[in-house]
Amino acid sequence: MKAPSPFSPLLKQWEQSLWRCNKCGACTGACPLYARTKDEGMAARGKLALVEALLEGSLAPGPGCAAYLAGCLLCQACRESCASGVPTTEIILAARRELALFEKLPFALRLLLSGVLTRPALVALAGRALELCRRQGICRLAERVLPGEFFPLLWRALLAAPALPGAGAGARGLLPEAAGESSLARPARGTVGYFTGCALTLFFPRVSRATQRALARAGWAAAPRNFCCGMPHYAHGDFRTARELARKNIDLFASYAAVVTDCATCGAMLKEYAQLLADDKEYAPKAKAFSARVRDVSEFLAAEGAPDPERFPRPFPASGPAGHPGFFFFRKERIRAAYHDPCHLARGQGVREEPRRLLAAVPGLELVEMESADTCCGGGGTFLFTHLQLAAGVGEAKARDILAAGPDVVVTGCPGCLLQLKMALQRAGRGDLPVLHTVELLGL
């Protein structure tokens, strides 16, 4: 009596994989959203059951189903926990695409994704505007003007210069922007394509600068450029735009032997291009080659650019010329750094050891492990904006784990995490704890 499935072959092709799910429930134990809500529909098992019902025709697509499918951080913890190897997140993405969830996003977000992020010039412009705000102290003004709790928190997380211990009012001069980069750089070993993610350009230009510095010290010149990687579109089911952006990026980086990025999410997406364009006659081979050339900056530096102690001043000498910008941060003898694994780095790209190796090699820095370091922080890209409460809830658990490890600084490798961790710590009353990108600790 069941009506024939009204769904496209694109969703249908996952049916066999869906059948592999034996409803064991292991993914519920791994899902940060389930831990928070205890709601089956939040874990992969429930979402897969809904997709299966959609395909069977026993459930009509509608807002209820769409809401469950939208409630996912795409953190891939479920995929990792699944003994049967069910490609959970791929199926969730395919279902989002099928239900055209993109169309159901709030207007402002859609505008951002398709109007701004697809245009590099606009992203750069917005980045400069935000940078200006940061310098002019507009954040403090905004804090007073903006209503509610979320936006002031977000605003502060976005605009506040990283408040480092002992940095005092002069925090802006903290990073050695003007510390004579050329004097530190070795003769170039070559030039890499530096994929500057939109979020870093917009919100954390200090990270982009630190990345270029770290690359320079390892002897690499960086050619910064990008179109949006397409992840936000892909995640919300707008595969068409994602594919278009993929093709543009492949062309943009055609002449570089290595494509390096400091955004975990962009990196994961760029490595996914091979898959995304597998059925594109013209671009499939190019995409495959492109994805193989992509490296996260920590991956690249750990393999290529082992820092050369001869050429570096010791980053954190116990005493030294007070003029060195790093010093007031590192007044303490040893700095305890807790590293949070971004989902898109740890599970998305299998990069867990490299950032830890780089950090552990920084003199004066002690790497401390927090409980569940690779559990999602709750940022989930735009999830942070679409599911305020839930994201805050997941962040609360993360902040607890961080604070229990007692670090002086929190380190991670993704702008989404930087933002969410900062907000979670602010909520926990520890907005003073610096949250930095791995590369920011390498080049000091």
Ligand X SMILES: Cc1cc2nc3c(=O)[nH]c(=O)nc-3n(C[C@H](O)[C@H](O)[C@H](O)COP(=O)(O)OP(=O)(O)OC[C@H]3O[C@@H](n4cnc5c(N)ncnc54)[C@H](O)[C@@H]3O)c2cc1C
Residues lying near other proteins in the complex (CB under 8 A) are found at 16, 19-26, 28-30, 38-41, 46, 49-50, 53, 58-60, 64-65, 68, 83-85
Which of 11, 26, 158, 302 forms a contact with ligand SF4 (CB under 6 A)? 26
Nearer to ligand SF4 among residue 72 and residue 259 (C-beta): 72
Identify the CA nearest to 129 among candidates 212, 121, 334, 297: 121
Q: CB under 5 to 8 A by kind: which of ligand SF4, ligand X, other proteins, none does 240 bind? A: none
Phi first, then psi: give them for residue 411, nearest 5 degrees: -125, 140
Q: CB under 5 to 8 A by kind: which of ligand X, ligand SF4, other proteins, none does 338 bind? A: none
Q: How far is the CB of 46 from other proteins (least distance, A)?
A: 5
- Report the alpha-carbon angle 346-347-353, nearest 5: 30
Nearer to ligand X among residue 85 and residue 320 (C-beta): 85
Residue list 118-177, contact with ligand SF4 (CB under 6 A):
none
Q: How far is the CB of 280 from ligand X (least distance, A)?
A: 40
In the chain, % helix, strand, coil (3-state, to 5) comes to: 55, 10, 35
Tokens at residue 172, please? 């802006």
Tokens at residue 313, please? 């001043």
Which of 65, 75, 367, 402 forms a contact with ligand SF4 (CB under 6 A)? 75
Q: How far is the CB of 195 from ligand X (least distance, A)?
A: 41
Binding window for ligand SF4 (CB under 6 A); candidates: 44-52, 120-128, 264-272, 302-310: 44-52
Q: CB under 5 to 8 A by kind: which of other proteins, ligand SF4, ligand X, none does 311 bind? A: none
Pairing of strands 259-261, 294-296: parallel
Contacts of residue 239, Cβ cutoff 8 Å, sequence gap at least 6: 97, 233, 276
Measure CA of the first residue to CA of the last residue in the chain; give whole Å.
68
Pairing of strands 435-437, 409-412: parallel
Which of 8, 22, 136, 275 forms a contact with ligand SF4 (CB under 6 A)? 22
Contact between residue 444 and residue 326 where contact means Cβ atoms under 8 Å apart: yes
Amino acid found at 175:
L
Nearer to ligand SF4 among residue 72 and residue 294 (C-beta): 72
Q: How far is the CB of 38 from other proteins (least distance, A)?
A: 4
Which x/- pattern over 246-275 shows residues binding ligand X (rule: CB under 6 A)? ------------------------------
Give CB contacts under 8 A, 24+ apart, made by 6-13.
6/57, 7/54, 7/55, 7/98, 8/98, 10/94, 10/97, 10/98, 11/51, 11/54, 11/55, 11/94, 11/95, 11/97, 11/98, 12/55, 13/94
Which of 41, 50, 69, 76 forms a contact with ligand SF4 (CB under 6 A)? 76
Which of 58, 84, 136, 275 forms a contact with ligand SF4 (CB under 6 A)? 84
38 binds ligand X per the rule CB under 6 A: no
Nearer to ligand SF4 among residue 120 and residue 379 (C-beta): 379
Q: How many residues make contact with ligand SF4 (CB under 6 A)?
A: 28
Sequential DSSP letters for 75-128: --HHHHH-TT---HHHHHHHHHHHTTGGGGS-HHHHIIIIIITT-HHHHHHHHH
Write down the residue that tokens 């003073």 correspond to: 432
Q: How far is the CB of 34 from other proteins (least distance, A)?
A: 9
Residue 95 CB-half CA count within 13 A: 30
DSSP state of 313: P
Q: How far is CA 384 from each of CA 5, 104, 318, 404, 420, rounded to the nearest angstrom?
A: 33, 16, 40, 24, 8
Nearer to other proteins among residue 77 and residue 231 (C-beta): 77
24 binds ligand X per the rule CB under 6 A: yes
User: From CA 61, how far away is CA 55, in angstroms rounded?
Assistant: 10
Contact between residue 363 and residue 434 where contact means Cβ atoms under 8 Å apart: no
84 binds ligand X per the rule CB under 6 A: no
Nearer to ligand X among residue 24 and residue 254 (C-beta): 24
Nearer to ligand SF4 among residue 76 and residue 412 (C-beta): 76
What residues make contact with ligand SF4 under the rule CB under 6 A?
21-27, 30-33, 43-45, 48, 72-78, 81-82, 84, 86, 88-89
What residues make contact with ligand X under the rule CB under 6 A?
24-25
